[in-house]
Amino acid sequence: MLAKGRSMKISYKKLWILLIEKEISQATFRKDLNIATGTMTKMRKNEEVALSVLLRICEYLDCNIGDICDAVKVEKE
């Protein structure tokens, strides 16, 4: 159980770093995977997206889900 005043949030920081390391632009990434602009916006804002999208990203980048995102604890205000 989470401590009172805490919650979990997703972070896609690893994804953006991996794209930079592989020299793949966000535009190319979005086009190649046919990701909706709204989904890209959600990922940029570290909001939840469908697991099916994350799995497509993993297949595209030949990586595991933990290589593209993290669950992080955040303090509630």
- Per-residue pLDDT tens digits for 47-66: 999 999 999 999 999 999 99
Q: Give 66's DSSP letter.
A: G
10 vs 3 pLDDT, higher one = 10
Q: Which two tokens stand for residue 23?
A: 């020299």
Domain annotation covers residue 48: yes
- Burial class (CB within 10 angstroms; exposed 0-12, middle 13-18, buried 19+) of 43: buried
Name the domain count of the chain: 1
Give the percent of the chain with pLDDT over 70: 92
Specify if 1 maps to a domain: no
Average pLDDT over all residues of the chain: 93
Distance CA 47, CA 28 (A): 21
pLDDT band at 70 (very low <50, low <70, confident <90, very high): very high
Q: Containing domain of residue 42, as a range?
A: 6-75
- What CATH number corresponds to the domain at position 24? 1.10.260.40
pTM of the model: 0.86
